């Protein structure tokens, strides 16, 4: 399951999707909006995506993960729009027979998403705003 959504991410629905009688392990990574960046207070994050390409890039990452680990099911869901402190921006879920594969595959997917998928976040501070990673 791969998705970009403007609605809140439904963790319970993802869990249900990931469950399988063969899966002894389910790993979930939840990315949450934090209230500061390097001690500068954050008011909110604004995410935007090039949806069409973001979906295909996330699919490539999931395909690569399936080549490398014996994944039973995966869920990759990224939210976009305006997110407040405490809201969930991303969910990565992987189910496998044993836990080591689930941990490794989950980490690979989120780490690679941050490098290649065309999604952008703007940090909005009390006194300004900044697109993350945009400037040297």
Partner 1 sequence: MDLPVSVLLFGITRDLTGQSAVTISLSQDARVSDLLNQLHQQFPPLTGIRSLLVAVNGEYAEADQLLNRNDEIALIPPVSGG
Rule CB under 8 A: say whether 62 interacts with partner 1: no
**Binding to partner 1, residues 69-98 (CB under 8 A):** 78, 89-90
CB of 105 to partner 1, least distance (A): 16
- The closest of 104, 99, 86, 96 to 31, measured between CA atoms, is 86
Q: How far is the CB of 23 from partner 1 (least distance, A)?
A: 24
Among 14, 18, 26, 54, contact with partner 1 (rule: CB under 8 A): 54
> Cβ distance 23 to 97 under 8 Å?
yes
Asked whether 58 and 113 are in contact (CB, 8 A), the reply is yes
Task: Pick between residue 32 and residue 100 the one whose CB is nearest to partner 1.
Answer: 32
What is the C-alpha separation between 14 and 30, in angstroms, rounded? Answer: 11
Q: Does 38 bind partner 1 (CB under 8 A)?
A: no
Q: Find the part of the chain contacting partner 1 (CB under 8 A) among 6-14, 33-41, 61-69, 107-115.
A: 107-115
Closer CB to partner 1, 86 or 136, in the complex: 136
Shortest Å distance, C-beta 41 to partner 1: 19
Separation in Å, CA 101 to CA 71, 79, 104? 8, 25, 5
Q: Residue 10 gets which letter from DSSP?
A: -
Q: Burial of 98 by CB count in 10 Å (0-12 exposed, 13-18 middle, 19+ buried)?
A: exposed
Q: Which residues bind to partner 1, rule: CB under 8 A?
A: 31, 47-50, 52-54, 56, 78, 89-90, 110, 113-122, 131-136
């Amino acid at each position: 399951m791969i998705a970009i959504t403007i609605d809140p991410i439904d963790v319970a629905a993802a869990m249900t999707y990931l469950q399988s009688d063969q899966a002894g392990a389910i790993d979930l990574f939840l990315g949450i909006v934090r209230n500061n960046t390097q001690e500068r207070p954050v008011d909110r994050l604004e995410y935007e995506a090039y949806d069409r390409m973001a979906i295909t890039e996330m699919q490539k990452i999931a395909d690569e993960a399936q080549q490398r680990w014996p994944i039973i099911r995966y869920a990759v869901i990224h939210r976009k729009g305006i997110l407040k402190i405490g809201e969930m921006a991303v969910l990565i879920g992987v189910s496998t027979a044993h836990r080591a594969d689930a941990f490794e595959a989950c980490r690979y997917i989120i780490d690679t998403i941050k490098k290649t998928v065309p999604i952008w976040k703007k940090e909005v501070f009390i006194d300004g705003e900044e697109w993350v990673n945009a400037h040297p």
